[in-house]
Copies of this chain bind each other. A is one copy, B any other.
Amino acid sequence: MKALNPATNQPIEPDFAFGGLAEVHRAATLADDAFDSYSHTSLTARAQFLERIADHLDAARKELAARASLEVGLPEAQLEAEAAKAGVQFRQFADVVRKGRFLQLSIDPALPERQPRPRMDHRLQKMAIGPVAIFGASNFPISYSVAGGDTASALAAGATVIVKAHNAHPGASEIQARVIRDAVRDSGFHEGVFSMLRGSGNAIGEALVEHPLIRAVTFTGSEAGGMALYRRAQLRPDPIPVFTEMTSVNPAFVLPSAQQSRGAAIGDGFGERMLVNVGQACLKPAILVGVQGEGFDVLRRALIKRIGEAPARTMLTPGIHASYVRGLDKLESAGAHRIAEGGEPNASLDGQSMLWEVDGAEFLANPVLADEVFGPSALLVKADNAEELLAIARALRGQLSATMHLEPEDMPLARRLLPQLERRTGRVVVNAFSHPQEVSFASIHGGPFPATSDSRFTSVGMTSIERFLRPVSYQGFPDALLPEPLREANPLGIPRLVDGQ
């Protein structure tokens, strides 16, 4: 295959080869062969490996951003920043590995005098689940792709990794794979610690999630794609965990006092965030809910202005562009009223920005209106009153995030809205938008279905490592046989719970 330049709709050199089922089997076998040694590397060696990846990523940053820009049609400067962020992510996980808290060490000491029977010594640590298959996203060709957060967190956990590369950016994928392979080699690790596969159609990905040696899967992309992989993995004789990050409209709720006092700023800010990455972001705020009145009209005008001034820009792939156009048709068919449109497209894959409006009753009557349209489109929902705004919150499916815009006078309503949002989203934001996403300890990129396939985990941030860890308890062990972090003298000095304290 060749990559496609979406700005020109022309192929880019060079050719990339596809793998087949033999390559899937070989990669899985290598990942399994490498697992025992890699999962038992010292924390120091593993942290150094992650830092080596970061170093190599930094060194390749310009080359990577230039190639990615050709392949996905986003500005080179933005992609350099994304590559820098990917490097930071590996360094953050190196720090997580070194500090060792992710091992969740826990000791219940022996109680030889306990009645009616003594308690033996129990010690727990987390260890990696096994080889992990990772399906990268199309829209962030670095930070959610081959050298993205899934790979960083899985390698940090001690899992071996096979990435199925996204065909939207084969050249950028190749550079990232080279960077990681170089770090594997420089670290003296088994070559099976990391592999990357490329394939046409779905066969290679399906074979990967069905391979008996694969123990977990992550995916970032559409609900249809994610669910197809999810269901396939669940129908294995031995189902495996699949974490899919799929779809979210990241609703913004503007409470009455905030709308009254800051309507224009909120409308303009929403429009700005909505347009980031040509609206091709999982955290794009796609639905804004306000309450009819003077503040709403001000907000609406600001938003119309912002969308109306937006030039059409290149979308990621022909498929995504076509799907965007279908999504706009679907909104129109569902009764959404078009109230603003951005500049006309100049090229075949340009996405034109669109703003739609419905009232609360229309929104509640047409669940299709709450579906994600991937691209620069957003929907304004005018609720009659606060009760209808709450009803709209209750009607939403699971989301990655939701935002509330509020002033002190809005607190009583915010207190009623919050439990609805807590139950439906992984992150609730006050007086800001949910994009961008922090990569930190207390931030979550997850949420109830269909935002993800398992609301108990996150795919971004330091706790995303938990997707790939399982507990092992060691009972009655002689000190010399215990894993180093659990030995009595605590040679690694990692914090450990004793009887849960």
Mark A residues whose CB is within 8 Å of B: 35-36, 40, 96, 99, 101, 106-108, 117, 119-120, 122-124, 127, 129-130, 230-231, 234-235, 238-241, 408, 411, 414-415, 418-419, 422-423, 425-432, 434, 436, 438, 440-444, 446, 448-450, 453-456, 458, 462-463, 466-467, 469-478, 480-481, 497, 499-501
Closest partner residue, chain B, to A463 (CB atom): B471
Closest residue to A117 on the B side, CB-wise? B436
- A475 vs chain B, min Cβ distance (A): 4
**Provided the pairs A499-B440, A500-B441, A500-B462 are in contact, do residues A36 and B419 lie with their beta carbons within 8 angstroms?**
yes
| A432 in contact with B473 (CB, 8 Å) | no
Considering the chains assembled together, what is the distance between the CA atoms of A26 and B443 in angstroms? 36
Interchain CA distance A231-B238 in the complex, whole Å: 11
Contact across chains for A122 and B443 when beta carbons are under 8 A apart = yes
Please give me the residue from chain B that is nearest to A40 by CB atom.
Answer: B419
For residue A480, which residues in chain B have a CB less than 8 angstroms away from its CB? 411
Task: Apart from A123-B442, A428-B477, A440-B500, list 9 A-B contacts with CB within 8 A.
Answer: A124-B442, A124-B444, A230-B234, A428-B474, A429-B476, A430-B481, A432-B476, A441-B497, A441-B499
Residues of B within 8 A of A501 (CB): 99
- Nearest B residue to A119, CB-CB: B438
Pairwise interchain contact B456-A418, C-beta atoms closer than 8 A = no
* Residue in B231, B414, B467, B472 whose beta carbon sits within 8 Å of that of A427 in the complex: B472
Distance of A488 from chain B, by nearest CB (Å): 14
Contacts of A108 in B (CB 8 A): 438, 440-443
Distance of A472 Cα from B123 Cα, bound (Å): 29
A-B contact pairs, 5 of them (CB 8 A): A119-B440, A122-B443, A428-B475, A441-B500, A456-B470
Are A473's CB and B428's CB within 8 A? Answer: yes
CA distance A441 to B411 in the complex (A): 39
Residues of chain B with a CB closer than 8 A to A449's CB:
238-240
Closest to A418 in B: B481
Give chain B nearest CB distance to A119 CB in angstroms.
6
Residue numbers in B under 8 Å from A462 (CB-CB): 500
Evaluate contact between B432 and A475: CB separation under 8 angstroms: yes
Which listed residue, B129, B431, B463, touches A476 by the CB 8 Å rule?
A: B431
Q: How far is the CB of A319 from chain B (nearest CB, A)?
A: 24
Report how far A440 CA is from B426 CA in the complex, Å: 29
A478 to B, closest residue via Cβ: B430
